[in-house]
Structure 1
Amino acid sequence: MACNNREVCMHSPYSAFSSSSALYSGQSSRFGVAQGDTGAHWQYEVRPGDTLAKIAGKFGVTVEAIVQANPDIVNPELIYVGDTLSIPGQTRYTVEWGDTLSRVAAEFGLTVNDIVRANNLASPDRIQIGQELVLPATTDITRTRHAVPAPDAHGPDHASKFDTFADIIHQYGNEAAAVDLASGKKVVVSVRHDTSVHVNDGKGEYDDRIVVIWQDESGAKHVREFAGNTDPSGRYEDGGRYQVKEIEGVDVNNDGRNDLGRLAEGTYRFEKGRVLDRFTGYRATHDQVVERDSNHDGWFNSLDTQASGQTNAGMHIHPGGNTITGSAGCLTMKPDVFNEFMELMGEQPGLNNVLVGSDRLAA
C-alpha cells in the first residue's frame, strides 16, 4: 500500500466509493495499473470514512480476502486515506443467444455501467454470442446464467433474495413499510452505491439498485430489480465545473454557495401523481432527511457540514434521461426502465421506499 497522507480511516458511519476509482489489469488511471496476469484485482484508493468492512461490502468480497491480497496490512482495523488497496474477485460470463447487457447485469446483481467499465466496451448495445465478459464479483455466482433466477422466478434462491430485502425493510425501514409488505403491497428498497456528483462529467450514473419486493395472495415471493440513481448530478452544483442547469440546493454552511443534497438513509413515503409538472411518477408526501455536500468535493461524508436535515418534501421519483440522470437529489431511472417500474407498480397509489447504503447488504 502506498500512503499519501496519514488520515486514519476506522469506524466512521460514512463511506465513499467512486466508480472511477476502480480498474482492471491493463487499465491505467491516477491510481496506477492493476498488476497480475489473471486480471482478478481492482485497485482502490482509500477515501475519508472508509473501513475495510465497507470497502469489502462494496466490492462483494470479504475483509479477509482484502487482507490476504494486501500483505502490507498489519492491522485490519487501521487503514489510511490515500492507501491503494488491491481488491480481489471477479468472474466471467459467456454471452448467449438473447442476452443483452441489461439482462446480464440484472441477473448478476450488477449495473450495465459496471460491466461496460470492467470490459472497456465501446458501446453497451453491442455484444456478441460467445463473447466473454468480465463480471465484478458481488456474491457467490456461477459462470452460467441459468444458475441465477429470472426476476419473477419462484424457488428457494428467489425466496432467499426476497428474504434478504425483507430483512432490510424490517431492520432499517419503518413500521409503515413493514405493514405494507405484510399486507401484500409492493415495497421499494433502494440500495445506494456511493458515487461522486462529478462522475461522468457531472451527468451522473444509474449505478444504484432499485428493488421492488412483494408477496401475492398465494404467498409466492416476488423480486424485481431496476437500475436507478439516488445521487444528485453535478450539472446542478452551484459554481461547479459541470454546472449547466439551474442551481439547486441550500447553503448550509453560509459560504455563499448552495450545497447539493440527497436523501439520507431512511424510509420515505411517495404518492402517485404529477412530478415537476412534467411527469407521472411518485411525489414525496412528507418532510425528508437530507444530507449536503457542503465542501463541494462531490461526496457526502463526515467532512461536510450538515444542517437540521429537513426539506419540504422536494425529492421525488421520476424518469431521467438516457445519458444524464436528471437528478438534483430525486430518485431517477432511464425512461424505458422507469416505464417498466411504473408498469410493475400498476394501480398502487403510494409506496414506501427504504433507502440504504450498499454496505447494509454486507452487514
Structure 2
Amino acid sequence: MFEALKPLPQDPILQLMQTFRDDPRPDKIDLGIGVYKDDAGSTPIMAAVHEAERRLLAGETTKSYVGPAGAAGFNEAVARLILGEQSDIIRDGRCSVVQTPGGCGALRMAAEFLRLCQDQVTVWVSTPTWANHLPLLGGAGLAIREYPYLNRESLQVDFEAMLESLEGANAGDVVLLHGCCHNPSGADLTFEQWQDVTRLIQRKGLLPFVDMAYQGLGEGLEEDAAGLRHLASEVPEMLVASSCSKNFGLYRERTGALMLVSANEAINRAAASQLLSVIRSHYSMPPAHGAAIVETILGNDGLRELWQEELNGMCERILHLRHAFAEALAPAGDFSFIARQRGMFSFLGISPKQVHQLREEHGIYMLDSSRVNVAGLNDRTLPKVAEAIHGVL
C-alpha cells in the first residue's frame, strides 16, 4: 500500500531552517524562523516559567489525564486574559474554553466543530495569512475564500478592499481575523477599523473567528486585545483560537486554547458538549505540562507580575528594533512602515532574487516572500543586515 505514495516537497519554512543549520558561516543571521529571540540570539525560557516549573516539580503528585477539556484553572485564566477580568461574557456564562495542543490544535478543532454546525462552511481568510491556516481549516473540509488585506505597494492594510470583498460574504460565513501582530505582515487593524469590521459582521450575519497568537507582543496585553473585546461585546457568537507559544515562550510545550462565545448560557453548554465530543474523537486529551505552567503563573500574583514584566520587556524590545531597523534602512528607501507595524513580522518588499542574494552573499536568511522576523535582529546584527539590504537594492 505505501509504495504508491510519492514524496512531498518540504515545507518552505522547515527547509529554510535546515539550510540555515547546514550553513557553516559563524556570522549567519536567521530572520526567517518565527520565534522570539533575545539580544544574544537565543530563545530563552522566561524566569516566571522557570519558577513555575520548579514549583510544579516540587508539588506534582500525579500524571493522570486531565480530561478532554484540559485543566479548568488554565481555561478560566485564558478566558480572563483574552476577554478581561471584568468580562460580562464570562460572568453571564456565554463562553467556554478548552485547552488544545497549541494554537494549531485550536484552529483545527474549531474547523471540525464548524462542520457540525452546518454542512457547507465557508471561511474567509486574509491575503496574505499564516500559511498553516489553509491546511488546518481546508483540511477539515471548510471552503476557503480570500479577502484582500495587505497592499503590496504600500505594505499597509488595504481596508477599503477588505470591506468591499467581505460584502460578498453570505450569512453564516466565517471570517478569520488576526487579533494582533498580523502574521506574516505585521500590519494590524486600528481600533476604528475593528469597529467598522464589527458593524459589517453584524449587518451581514457573519461568524467572526479570531486567531490570537501574539497577545502582549504588539503594544501590550490590554491594548492587543482591545479590538477583539469590542467585537466580542457586539456579536452573539464567535470563536477565538489562542496560543501560549509566544507570550509565554512555550513553543515546544504545545499549549493553546479554543474559546466559544454563544448567545446565552444554554446554547454555550450545548455547543461546548459538541466540541468536547470532537476533541475526544481526535486526540482525546491535551498535554498537561504547558497549561499547568500558565495556570501557575496567572494564578500567583508574584509570578504574574514577573511574567508581565518580562513580556513587556519583549514587546518594548521589538518596538525598539522596528524603529531602529526602519531608520537604518532609510537611505535605501521608505521603510517607515516597519516602525508602524506591530509584532514579530514584516515584509521588506524585496524580490526573491534579492532574498537569495542576501542569503548567498551575506548569510542573511529570510523567506522568499521577504518576510522577516524583526525579533531575530539585535543591535549588533542590525547594522550588518541594513548594509546588506542597501547593497542588494
TM-score when normalising by structure 1? 0.23
The one of the two structures with greater contact order (alpha-carbon pairs below 8 A, sep at least 6) is 2
In our comparison, the structure showing a higher alpha carbon Rg is 2
Structure number with the higher helix fraction is 2
Structure number with the higher strand fraction is 1
